[in-house]
Structure 1
Amino acid sequence: MRVGLITPDAGHPLLAATAALLAPEHEVRVLDPEAGAAAAAGARADVYLLKARTPSALALARELERRGAPVLNSAAATGRCQDRTGMAELARRAGLPFAATRTFGSLAEAGASEQPAWPVVVKSRHSRKHDLVARVDGPAGLRELAAAGWEREPVVVQPFTPNSGWDHKLWVIGDRVFTGLRQSELATGPEEPGRFPGRLPGGVDELALRVGAVFALDVYGVDVITTADGDPLIVDVNAFPGVRGQAGAPEALAALALRRAR
């Protein structure tokens, strides 16, 4: 089989380990995601892994799909995870326990609206590296973010839900669910290293698989917090995360790629 990697970093630990597993019997090729749709002309793989989210990478993935090649995740599914407004609407329509989300064209627009009870969580509408994720305790906090350079950023605003200060990180590859705990970006106090519990809270693994079905994702991450009532609340979904430090993840990804290639 021929497996294509659409990535700017073929040395990423998950991809490198997966490629090493495949290499003895299969051919692994790396495609430059910034080459865009033009790179599809010479591409000849049975399945592609889309580990990039730029417009050029999505254009390449769409062209490969148009030519009949399976891409994990699809360009459409990857795009759905980049717009937090659409993400929340889709999740809540499907009955998933997703944080209530309001959308504003800028921080000034958010500040001028009738706000729910403070504090709130403010995030960039468009998910990307180094985007805005902040707890805001009142109007002055919005002004501080604007002064810090986020004044024109389209944002979503969610109620702040009191929790343990730790996010359940759920990573799914096909039907395999991996888990970890990461200190929340909103937590106060000294930063602590992530944890990798062997067991999941009851029902959270099934919840993670439901997310994949709703968003049509094959490889994805789900961030979940536990509310004061003990209920899970989804706060983010992302396509093809790093899944670092998870034993069995490269094996699961290699097996998924070969299943789809066949």
Structure 2
Amino acid sequence: MVVRIGIITVRGPDYHPNRRLLEAARAAGHRGILIHPYRLWPENSAGRLGTTGERAAGLPHVVLPRQGAQIGDACLALIRQIQLLGVPLVNPYEAVTIARNKFLTLQTLTAAGLPCPDTIFVNEAPGFFHAVDRLGGYPVVAKQVSERQGDGVLRIVDPEDARDRALPGLDRKRGLMVQRYLPPDERRDIRALVIDGQLICAAALVPARGDFRANFHLGGLIRPTQLSGRLGQTAVRAATAIGCDVAGVDMMIDGKGRPFIVEVNYSPGFKGMEAVSGQDIAGRIIRLAARRYRNHSENTGL
């Protein structure tokens, strides 16, 4: 059976993850469909849930939410509508809601007994300086709860730096994360890719010269790496705690070998990971989506 696999994204078919997912769907005999979240809208009419706008005539069999960290409430409403309409999601609405917010992610992971960096969430200037004291002084890392590819991540070195760069972006309604700083030469940065409860591959990320942020999109290097059983299990447990079927789990490993989970990304890019691992990651995601639809059909008798 040809499975119609929807991909929620604001990007076009030339964007690398979209292109690869569409290619993988076609290679598997399925049909990939890009769904723009600002052109398909939830509708509650005559006592029934539905959708209207582009792609409203027949939803896909299964949907991959992949808008990324800057996903807004409008797209979340669409994702939940699709889930309530009985369409299986990879990843589900609840996981996307947590993963889009970095503090809610760390909150959930810590509650599950998983190691995370010391972090304080503040919403006013006095709270920021209190957080610095609680974390042992400068430097600290200031982060927005929702940022993309390293944007909005600052290394703050003193009170003047905080007033110039961190506090202007401190919105009382959105808040700001303040974290203990671990220098690049005292840590290893790892991204682990978890799909359907299995560690698929991992890569070491090396910050670009002069930058403390380990991010492939900021010019950092990416290299294949092997995770020990303990580290691999930590990555899988993190994805499971958030509820993600597909997740990029970012970790820092300190000089004593202790892992700290920094982020769980529900829509990880995988260009670099495919390159260093040689794996068909897009194909794995598509196979999971098709399997999720078949299992859903069997369980619901559709």
TM range (shorter): 0.7 to 0.9
1:78 maps to what in 2?
96
| Match 2:7 to one of 5, 8, 11 | 5
Distance 1:113 1:199 in 2: 35
What one-letter code is carried by the residue in structure 2 that aligns with 1:19?
Answer: L
What one-letter code is carried by the residue in structure 1 that aligns with 2:6?
Answer: G
Measured after TM superposition, the shift of residue 47 of structure 1 is: 0.5
Distance 1:231 1:20 in 2: 39
Q: How does 1:62-101 map to 2 (within 5 A)?
A: 62-101=80-119
Instruction: Check conservation: 1:177, 1:208, Cα contact below 8 A.
Output: no
Measured after TM superposition, the shift of residue 105 of structure 1 is: 0.7
| Match 1:158 to one of 179, 198, 202 | 179
Instruction: Check conservation: 2:188, 2:254, Cα contact below 8 A.
Output: no
Structure 2 residue 265 is matched with structure 1 residue 220? no
Distance 2:106 2:32 in 1: 36
Structure 1 unaligned regions, length at least 5: none
Which deviations, in whole Å up to 9, do the C-alpha atoms of 1:69-104 show, x marking residues without a partner?
A: 011111221110122222222111101011121111
| Match 2:193 to one of 152, 171, 174 | 171
What one-letter code is carried by the residue in structure 2 that aligns with 1:79?
Answer: T
C-alpha change, 1:195 and 1:113, in structure 2 (3 Å) is closer
Instruction: Check conservation: 1:15, 1:250, Cα contact below 8 A.
Output: no
Measured after TM superposition, the shift of residue 60 of structure 1 is: 1.3
Which deviations, in whole Å up to 9, do the C-alpha atoms of 1:92-142 show, x marking residues without a partner?
A: 110101112111114453125662312221111334466421122222221
C-alpha change, 1:108 and 1:125, in structure 2 (3 Å) is farther
Q: CA RMSD in A?
A: 2.5
What one-letter code is carried by the residue in structure 1 that aligns with 2:212?
Answer: L
Measured after TM superposition, the shift of residue 162 of structure 1 is: 4.2
| Match 2:61 to one of 27, 31, 46 | 46
Instruction: Check conservation: 2:156, 2:166, Cα contact below 8 A.
Output: no
Distance 1:195 1:156 in 2: 26
Distance 1:50 1:27 in 2: 16
2:141 maps to what in 1?
121
Distance 1:230 1:130 in 2: 24
Distance 1:129 1:57 in 2: 20
C-alpha change, 1:96 and 1:151, in structure 2 (3 Å) is closer
Distance 1:205 1:239 in 2: 18
Equivalent residue of 1:42, what SS? coil
Structure 2 unaligned regions, length at least 5: 43-50, 295-302
Measured after TM superposition, the shift of residue 6 of structure 1 is: 1.0
Structure 2 residue 212 is matched with structure 1 residue 186? yes
Distance 2:246 2:124 in 1: 32
C-alpha change, 1:182 and 1:93, in structure 2 (3 Å) is same
| Match 2:285 to one of 247, 253, 259 | 253
Equivalent residue of 2:5, what SS? strand
What one-letter code is carried by the residue in structure 1 that aligns with 2:176?
Answer: V
Instruction: Check conservation: 1:73, 1:219, Cα contact below 8 A.
Output: yes
TM (norm. structure 2) is 0.77
Instruction: Check conservation: 1:46, 1:69, Cα contact below 8 A.
Output: yes
Instruction: Check conservation: 2:183, 2:212, Cα contact below 8 A.
Output: no
C-alpha change, 1:112 and 1:97, in structure 2 (3 Å) is closer
Q: How many residue pairs were aligned?
A: 259
What one-letter code is carried by the residue in structure 1 that aligns with 2:281?
Answer: A
TM (norm. structure 1) is 0.88
Deviates more, 1:27-36 or 1:221-230: 27-36
Matched-pair identity in %: 24
- Give runs of ≥4 in structure 1 deviating > 6 Å: none
